[in-house]
Amino acid sequence: MRADEIEVRNPSGLHARPAALFVKTAARFASAVTVQNVTTGAAPANAKSILAVMGSGAARGHIVRLTVDGPDEDQAISVLHDLFASGLGEDLEA
């Protein structure tokens, strides 16, 4: 199992559009992927479910914990980490 903690830097948090991109990417991997909002102390959510990801209520500045467990976990954690760091399709400086 691989895990990673990362700060949400999107201006409106994980709202519909960045959440959709994140879920689409997570769904490409065979491994089980979860995302947990550490800042609010919510339970880990299935990262392949857009409702669960939006339900984690991750706002700008919150810390989320990603866990990946399965055959392609090494590739999955690095792709998902880079996706978060690059702003999930949003311009973080705008």
Partner 1 sequence: MTSAVRLTGVAGAPGIAIGPVWRFDAAEPALQAASRQVPNQRPADAIEAAAAETARQLESLASRLRDLGREQESAIFDAQSMMALDPGLLDDAIRRAGEAGDPAEAVRAAAAAAAELLASLDDEILSARAADVRDVGARICRVLRGEVLVLPAVPSIAVCDDLPPSVTAEIPPGFLLGIALAGGSRTAHAVILARSLGIPAIVGIDGLIAAVDGRSAPSAQPVTIAMDGERGEVVVDPGARVTTEFREREADLALRRANAAGLRDRPAATADGERILLVANIGTPDDAPRALAARAEGVGLFRTEFLFMSRQTPPTETEQVDAYRRVLEAFGSERPVVIRLADIGGDKAIPYLDLAPEQNPFLGVRAIRLAYANPDLLLTQLRAIWRAGAAAKVVPHVMAPMVATVADVELLISLRDRARDTLVGKGLAVAERMVTGIMVEVPSAAFLAPELARRVDFFSIGTNDLTQYVLAADRGNAALAGLQDALHPAVLRAIAGIVAGADSAGIPVAVCGELAGDPAGALVLAGLGVDELSADAGSLDGVRAALAGVTRPQLDALAHAALAAVDAETVREMAGALLGPARTPNAAGPR
Footprint on this chain of partner 1 (rule: CB under 8 A):
11-13, 15-17, 19-20, 23-24, 39-41, 46, 48-52, 54-55, 57, 59, 61-62
Do 47 and 22 contact (CB within 8 A), yes or no? Answer: yes
| Token output for 9 | 């830097």
Do 14 and 65 contact (CB within 8 A), yes or no? Answer: no
* Pick 10 or 67: Cβ nearer partner 1: 10
* Pick 78 or 86: Cβ nearer partner 1: 86
Number of C-beta neighbours around residue 76 at 10 A: 24
Active-site pick, 15, 44, 59, 81: 15
62 catalytic? Reply is no
Q: How far is the CB of 14 from partner 1 (least distance, A)?
A: 8
Q: Give the integer Cα–Cα distance in Å for 64 and 30.
A: 21
* Pick 2 or 13: Cβ nearer partner 1: 13
